[in-house]
């Protein structure tokens, strides 16, 4: 039987002292590292998976206008949906938070048969079937039974509805819809694919049968055995409205949902109007669209106007949900009102030389923006009379919109108000970072030419924002 070895108390205390010293040294090193903002961010950018990514970063204290950190802050980057920060700022400054789109409706003739029903689109991106049905219900109340012509005046926004710098592959989907004068149900339709029995073709359903008529769908997707990895694909044949659905959907999988663009929004709107009128017992002779303003509308009888929500609410949809259609409509609305976005942005301190605006949403890869352009926009709106409305339109870290699932369980949760941006090889995040001492920092982070998944690049971006928060906490507590 061996002997038990006992250590003298002095040795135990000495070892404990060394352990404490080692722990203290490690904590001090970690504290010093946290207090080195430049070093911490540089370590994030130099991660092996980020070596080929092109980064642009600007972090500014708006109280002193000093840059706390910058990396290629004056270099052009593709901003993706960070472009919406410029678009929404220009719209809010120009029109104010209470601005509403008013879609007017006119009639010519008397009951029971009207000669014309005229609807003039004014670019309201939030118009729905429900709102249109409510407005048109007045006709049945007036004992109207027939309308010779239903005319859609689509002249407010000039053609084309699709930005020529957008990529073909985006145009089939909800984020690349045409931007027209009258946009009903966001010019989009939902296709849902349901699994059936293993080995059988899937089944499909459309959210709107009228919109579905504009697509020719070839469903080649097969239901696979339970737990089969998803491999669905939806492609459009160039120059046609033919969609081909291929791949496998497991029998135990959730339905596969696709948001699609409506190829001919004007035709869709007219068909929906005819359907609504038919449900109210009103027949229609013919329907047509005009790109030329209809003359002598002052001699027609106003039926009323469909009002949108106030601009403040439209901005929330634009920025929090990153809705491309809403952003494009805002830009076209500015142009239609002879409001120059560049002049408006310059009035709040945004240098025109720091960006190249090619659309309102950021879907175009021809947009170019420097991190400083976004910092200047955030800074200009921070002190603007509409600054609170602008800030409230942004997603909140860990809580709302496109930031709902980011920054959760970090000190930045509920403290960062920002706009995300994502497209292939591009990730971006810009916004306001609130700090424990009630101060606010301006943050803009743009990543281009990244070969990593969006998830990995977003994590690096989020780590930078958390590092800024931790640095500030460290710098304010250090003696």
Is the pLDDT confidence value at 236 over 70?
A: yes
Question: Which two three-digit tokens encode residue 132?
Answer: 């249109």
Mean pLDDT of 62-75: 98
Mean pLDDT of 167-174: 95
pTM, two decimal places: 0.92
Give the three-state DSSP class for 287. strand
222 and 274 co-located in one domain = no
Q: Residue length, the chain?
A: 479
Is residue 21 in some structural domain? no
Nearest CA to 343 among 90, 8, 56?
90
User: 385 CB contacts (<8 Å, ≥6 apart)?
Assistant: none
Give yes or no for a contact between 312 and 389, defined as CB atoms under 8 angstroms apart: yes
Q: Provide the pLDDT confidence category of residue 6 given band limits of 50, 70 and 90.
A: very low
248 and 330 co-located in one domain = no
pLDDT value of position 2 = 40
The residue whose two tokens read 């991660």 is 47
Orientation angle between helical segments 454-477 and 37-45, nearest 10 degrees: 170
Give yes or no for a contact between 312 and 392, defined as CB atoms under 8 angstroms apart: yes
pLDDT value of position 61 = 98
Rounded to 5 degrees, φ, ψ at 285 are: -75, -60
Is the pLDDT confidence value at 377 over 90?
A: yes
198 and 288 co-located in one domain = no
pLDDT value of position 261 = 97
Is residue 17 in some structural domain? no
Tell me how far CA of residue 418 lies from CA of 37, 138, 284, 379, in angstroms.
21, 43, 48, 13
pLDDT value of position 14 = 42
Mean pLDDT of 213-226: 98
Question: Which two three-digit tokens encode residue 103?
Answer: 């879609």
Peptide bond into 112 cis (omega under 30): yes
Spatial distance between the Cα atoms of 7 and 13, rounded to a whole number of angstroms: 10
Tell me how far CA of residue 393 lies from CA of 36, 89, 241, 348, 415, in angstroms.
33, 10, 36, 18, 14
Nearest CA to 342 among 312, 376, 384, 299?
376
Is the pLDDT confidence value at 463 over 80?
A: yes
Question: Which two three-digit tokens encode residue 251?
Answer: 């029998």
Is residue 402 in some structural domain? yes
Give yes or no for a contact between 206 and 195, defined as CB atoms under 8 angstroms apart: no
Is the pLDDT confidence value at 316 over 70?
A: yes
343 and 434 co-located in one domain = yes
Spatial distance between the Cα atoms of 211 and 298, rounded to a whole number of angstroms: 33
Q: Provide the pLDDT confidence category of residue 458 given band limits of 50, 70 and 90.
A: very high
pLDDT value of position 159 = 83
Mean pLDDT of 444-461: 97
Question: Would strands 222-224 and 248-250 be described as parallel, antiparallel, or unpaired?
Answer: parallel
DSSP 405-450: TSSTTSTTTTTEEEEEEEETTEEEEEEEEE-TTS-EEEEEEEEES-
Spatial distance between the Cα atoms of 441 and 473, rounded to a whole number of angstroms: 13
Is the pLDDT confidence value at 16 over 50?
A: no
CATH number for 419: 3.40.710.10
- Within 10 angstroms of residue 9's Cβ, the number of other Cβ atoms is 8
CB burial of residue 358 (10 Å; 0-12, 13-18, 19+): middle
pLDDT value of position 28 = 34
DSSP 182-194: S-SGGGEEEEEEE
Is the pLDDT confidence value at 117 over 80?
A: yes
pLDDT value of position 29 = 38
321 and 400 co-located in one domain = yes
Is residue 460 in some structural domain? yes
Using a pLDDT cut of 70, give the percent of the chain over it.
92
- Show which of 233, 261, 289 is a domain's final residue: 261
Is the pLDDT confidence value at 356 over 70?
A: yes
pLDDT value of position 237 = 86
Nearest CA to 330 among 90, 170, 166?
90
Nearest CA to 381 among 450, 465, 319, 301?
319
Domain that holds residue 190: 168-261
pLDDT value of position 467 = 98
pLDDT value of position 479 = 54
Is the pLDDT confidence value at 95 over 80?
A: yes
Using a pLDDT cut of 90, give the percent of the chain over it.
89
Q: Provide the pLDDT confidence category of residue 85 given band limits of 50, 70 and 90.
A: very high
User: 403 CB contacts (<8 Å, ≥6 apart)?
Assistant: 395, 396, 397, 416, 418, 420
Nearest CA to 243 among 189, 321, 312?
189
Mean pLDDT of 451-460: 96
321 and 442 co-located in one domain = yes
Taking the mean position of all CA atoms in its chain, how far away is CA 368? 17
- Show which of 261, 291, 321 is a domain's final residue: 261
The residue ranking higher by pLDDT, 335 or 17, is 335
Task: Give 256's strand partners.
Answer: 193
465 and 341 co-located in one domain = yes
Spatial distance between the Cα atoms of 388 and 372, rounded to a whole number of angstroms: 21
179 and 294 co-located in one domain = no
Is residue 5 in some structural domain? no
Mean pLDDT of 253-268: 98
Tell me how far CA of residue 316 lies from CA of 51, 382, 414, in angstroms.
35, 17, 16
Domains identified in the chain, total number: 3
Question: Which two three-digit tokens encode residue 327?
Answer: 């952003």
Is residue 24 in some structural domain? no
Is residue 116 in some structural domain? yes
For the chain, the average pLDDT equals 93
pLDDT value of position 160 = 87
pLDDT value of position 425 = 97
Give the three-state DSSP class for 464. helix
Spatial distance between the Cα atoms of 42 and 99, rounded to a whole number of angstroms: 44
pLDDT value of position 478 = 60
423 and 317 co-located in one domain = yes
Mean pLDDT of 394-410: 99
CATH number for 123: 3.50.80.20
The residue ranking higher by pLDDT, 268 or 51, is 268
pLDDT value of position 23 = 36
Is residue 274 in some structural domain? yes
195 and 173 co-located in one domain = yes
pLDDT value of position 477 = 66
Euclidean distance between the first and the last CA atom of the chain, given in angstroms as a whole number: 57
Is the pLDDT confidence value at 151 over 50?
A: yes
111 and 251 co-located in one domain = no
288 and 303 co-located in one domain = yes
Mean pLDDT of 441-454: 97
């Amino acid at each position: 039987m061996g002997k038990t070895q006992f250590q003298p108390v002095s040795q135990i205390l000495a070892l404990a002292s060394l352990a404490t010293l080692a722990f203290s040294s490690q904590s001090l090193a970690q504290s010093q590292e946290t207090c080195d903002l430049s070093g911490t961010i540089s370590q994030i950018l130099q991660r092996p998976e980020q070596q080929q990514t092109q980064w642009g970063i600007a972090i500014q204290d708006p109280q002193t206008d000093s840059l706390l950190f910058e990396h290629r802050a004056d270099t052009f980057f593709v901003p993706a949906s960070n472009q919406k920060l410029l678009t929404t700022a220009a719209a809010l400054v120009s029109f104010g938070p209470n601005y509403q789109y008013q879609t007017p409706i006119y009639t010519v003739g008397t009951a029971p048969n009207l000669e014309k029903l005229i609807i003039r689109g004014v670019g309201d991106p939030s118009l729905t079937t429900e709102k249109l049905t409510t407005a048109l219900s007045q006709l049945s109340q007036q004992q109207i039974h027939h309308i010779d012509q239903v005319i859609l005046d689509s002249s407010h926004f000039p053609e084309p509805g699709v930005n020529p710098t957008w990529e073909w592959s985006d145009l089939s989907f909800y984020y690349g819809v045409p931007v027209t004068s009258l946009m009903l149900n966001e010019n989009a339709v939902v296709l849902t694919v349901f699994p059936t029995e293993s080995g059988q073709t899937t089944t499909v359903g459309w959210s709107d049968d009228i919109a579905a008529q504009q697509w020719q769908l070839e469903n080649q997707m097969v239901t696979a055995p339970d737990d089969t990895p998803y491999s669905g694909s939806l492609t459009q044949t160039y120059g046609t409205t033919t969609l081909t659905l291929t791949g496998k959907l497991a029998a135990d999988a959730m339905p596969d949902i696709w948001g699609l663009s409506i190829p001919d929004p004007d035709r869709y709107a007219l068909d929906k109007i005819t359907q609504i009128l038919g449900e109210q017992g009103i027949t229609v002779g013919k329907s047509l669209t005009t790109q030329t303003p209809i003359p002598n509308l002052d001699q027609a009888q106003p039926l009323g106007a469909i009002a949108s929500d106030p601009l403040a609410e439209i901005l929330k949809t634009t920025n929090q949900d990153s809705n491309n259609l809403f952003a494009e409509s805002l830009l076209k609305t500015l142009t239609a009102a002879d409001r120059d976005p560049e002049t408006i942005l310059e009035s709040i301190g945004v240098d025109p030389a720091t960006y190249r605006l090619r659309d309102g949403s950021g879907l175009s890869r021809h947009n170019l923006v420097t991190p400083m352009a976004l910092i200047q926009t955030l800074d200009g709106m921070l002190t603007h009379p509409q600054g609170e409305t602008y800030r409230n339109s942004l997603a909140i870290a860990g809580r709302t919109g496109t930031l709902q699932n980011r920054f959760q369980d970090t000190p930045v949760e509920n403290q960062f108000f920002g706009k995300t941006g994502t497209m292939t090889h591009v990730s971006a995040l810009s916004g306001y970072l609130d700090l424990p001492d009630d101060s606010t920092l301006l943050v803009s982070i743009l990543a281009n030419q990244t070969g990593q998944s969006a998830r990995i690049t977003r994590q690096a971006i989020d780590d930078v924002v958390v590092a800024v928060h931790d640095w500030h906490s460290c710098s304010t507590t250090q003696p």
